[in-house]
Each structure stands twice: as C-alpha cells, then as structure tokens.
C-alpha cells in the first residue's frame, strides 16, 4: 500500500516484542501513548490519515481518539480485516492457533497443511507444536523471510501477547455493543 501512496509519507507501526530485548505492550493505553508520541515526532500537527489492519484497527481507533482529544484533526480513519463480532473468537485463540494461522498467513504452510495442523497440534505443548510446524516449512522460505525457529516463535509470542493485553476484551465488548445498537 505504501508504494501506491506517493503524495505523502506513509509510516507503519508494529507491536513491541519482535526483538528479544523489547517488552510486550501491557495495555492498549501504553500502545496508544507510544504510537501517539512517535506520530507527533514525525508529524507534529494533523490532519492525520490512519489505517489499522486486523488487530491494529482497534489501536488505530484509540489513536485517532487520543489525537482528536488533543485538538488534532484526523481526516481519515479506516480499518481492514477486522470482523465485527470477534469477542468469542478472541477468547478461544490458543498459542498454537496463533502459530498455525500466522504460519499460513506468511505462506510458510499450505492450505492443506493448515487444515491438518489445526487439528493435529491442538493441545500439544508449545515447543512440540512449533517443531511440527517447522518440519512442514520450506527452509528456503524461512531464510527469505529472515526467520528461524526462534524468530517464528517470537513472532507468535508477540501476536499471542496482544490478545492478553489489558482491556482488549472490554474494548471488543463495547465495539460489539455499539455495532449491534446501530444494526451492524
């Protein structure tokens, strides 16, 4: 997407924790404060255009609220790939579910492998599930992505930590209630 937008700079945020020395975010507020501060350093004044993808949709929404609260203009706010009623889904996601889904999302495993691994790995300890996925992955693709077993495990740890972040369930509940009240 950044390659298609040529009339202004495009920046992306990522969750903390991909590098081993980084701690995970412990709350949505901490995440929003961190991103808010970074945005203001790069662009001190609006108007801002903010897009969130998947989990980032919730963060983008909260970030827009914090900017507007300070008097900044958020001219555009959008979310991609965030289904409306996700609370029951988020409450059931396991570490192994994250592993299999992200491995599929990255193209590390095929659709057929995805379908079989979801069932096969259910209930296995993390290290066994990770080894099973790694055994099904093209090692050359791992190299292209700059990943190894430890890097993939770290990526899964970051993704899994985000669902446990303080207030996620409260936000999702409020979002679902608001959407239901509007007939969405």
Q: Which residues are catalytic?
A: 54
- 105, two tokens: 């999302």
Alpha carbons 130 and 126: distance in angstroms, whole number = 6
Q: Say how many CA atoms lie within 13 Å of 109 toward its Cβ.
A: 21
Alpha carbons 173 and 155: distance in angstroms, whole number = 26
Axis-axis angle for helices 95-105, 126-135 (nearest 10): 20
Sole residue written with tokens 């599929």: 104
- 182, two tokens: 């509007």
What SS3 class is residue 51?
Answer: strand
**Burial call 3-17: b when 16+ CB within 10 Å, e when fewer:** eeeeeeeeeebebbb
Task: Find out whether 48 and 72 touch, Cβ atoms under 8 Å.
Answer: yes
């Amino acid at each position: 997407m950044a390659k298609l937008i040529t009339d202004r700079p495009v920046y992306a945020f990522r969750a903390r924790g991909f590098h081993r020395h980084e701690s995970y975010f412990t709350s949505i507020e901490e995440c929003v404060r961190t991103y808010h501060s970074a945005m203001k350093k790069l662009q001190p004044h609006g108007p801002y255009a903010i897009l969130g993808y998947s989990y980032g949709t919730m963060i983008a929404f909260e970030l827009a609220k914090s900017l507007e609260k300070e008097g900044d203009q958020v001219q555009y706010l959008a979310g991609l790939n965030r289904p409306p009623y996700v609370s029951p889904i988020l409450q059931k996601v396991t570490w192994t579910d994250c592993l299999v889904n992200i491995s599929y999302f990255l193209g590390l495993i095929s659709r057929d492998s995805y379908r079989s691994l979801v069932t096969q790995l259910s209930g296995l300890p993390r290290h066994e599930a990770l080894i099973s996925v790694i055994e099904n992955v093209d090692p050359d693709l791992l190299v292209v992505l700059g990943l190894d077993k430890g890097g993939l495990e770290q990526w899964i740890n970051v993704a899994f930590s985000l669902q446990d972040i303080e207030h996620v369930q409260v936000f999702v509940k409020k979002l679902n209630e608001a959407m239901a009240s509007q007939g969405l």
